[in-house]
A and B are shown apart, each in its own frame.
Chain A
Amino acid sequence: AQSVTQLGSHVSVSEGALVLLRCNYSSSVPPYLFWYVQYPNQGLQLLLKYTTGATLVKGINGFEAEFKKSETSFHLTKPSAHMSDAAEYFCAVSETTSGTYKYIFGTGTRLKVLA
């Protein structure tokens, strides 16, 4: 079974500073990888996804992530944090087992942006 590990359940950055949220996955097949953001009391919003092709993926709100197969990583970055980026971020990998297609999520990283 595949799994996702997000290092750091809480990350604090200053406004304007670099955001780096870490995600490592385990997969026996080429993975499809996703980053979602969740604001308080809301559902999941897709930030970006990697399926095939270019390993540097650009998403919404200035976020991007790089798929590194050799490191089994898919870290999320943003050059300059904004107060509105404060939220919980989830990394996920898609898995198909016996015809069932599901997402495996990490435990999430709560991002705090300091003024």
Chain B
Amino acid sequence: ETGVTQSPTHLIKTRGQQVTLRCSSQSGHNTVSWYQQALGQGPQFIFQYYREEENGRGNFPPRFSGLQFPNYSSELNVNALELDDSALYLCASSLTTNTYNEQFFGPGTRLTVL
């Protein structure tokens, strides 16, 4: 069984640019959540996708957007990059949106904004 994978592993962008991060969920999982982990902080919830629809959002501006595809893989898009967007972005998949279903995390994509 393949776990959660993310690409790319590292990315360097400049302020104002746009970026797309990708996540493949674990087999059989229809729910994907994205988290941002700034340096020295715990991960913070960005949003969640369930069966191709956004299913809740954290305190992040609209320039953070996402997609989920029919195979349940997902993308995180960030427009108009700011220096503070530099962080590790973690994707997590779960069997459903139920609380008792564990979220399985990918290795993350480290984004650096210069």
Taking CB atoms, residues of chain B closer than 8 Å to A34 are 102
Q: Are A43 and B108 in contact (CB under 8 A)?
A: yes
Select the residue from B42, B56, B101 with max chain A CB neighbours within 10 A. B42
Q: Are B94 and A101 in contact (CB under 8 A)?
A: yes
Q: Are A32 and B43 in contact (CB under 8 A)?
A: no
Q: Are B33 and A102 in contact (CB under 8 A)?
A: yes
Q: Which of B42, B48, B55, B107 contacts A43 (CB 8 A)?
A: B107
Q: Which of A32, A46, A107, A108 contacts B99 (CB 8 A)?
A: A32
For window 12-34 of B, CB contacts with A under 8 Å fall at 31, 33
Bound CA span A104–B41, Å? 12
Query: In the complex, which residue of chain B has the Cβ closest to the Cβ of A32?
Result: B99
One digit per residue, 1 when the CB lies within 8 angstroms of any chain B CB and 0 when it does not, for chain A 16-60 equals: 000000000000000010101000011111100101000000000
On chain B, the number of residues with a Cβ less than 8 Å from chain A's Cβ atoms is 30
Bound CA span A107–B44, Å? 10
One digit per residue, 1 when the CB lies within 8 angstroms of any chain A CB and 0 when it does not, for chain B 32-46 equals: 010100001111110
Bound CA span A97–B33, Å? 14
Taking CB atoms, residues of chain A closer than 8 Å to B57 are 100
Bound CA span A95–B99, Å? 7
Query: In the complex, which residue of chain A has the Cβ closest to the Cβ of B54?
Result: A100
Q: How far is the CB of A33 from chain B (nearest CB, A)?
A: 11
Bound CA span A97–B110, Å? 28
Asked if B98 CB lies within 8 Å of chain A CBs, one says yes
Known A49-B102, A103-B103; judge A41-B110 contact (CB<8 A). Answer: yes
- Given contacts A95-B99, A104-B45, A107-B40, could you give 14 more A-B pairs where the C-beta distance is less than 8 Å? A36-B105, A41-B110, A42-B108, A46-B102, A49-B102, A90-B43, A94-B99, A96-B98, A100-B56, A101-B48, A101-B101, A103-B92, A105-B35, A107-B41
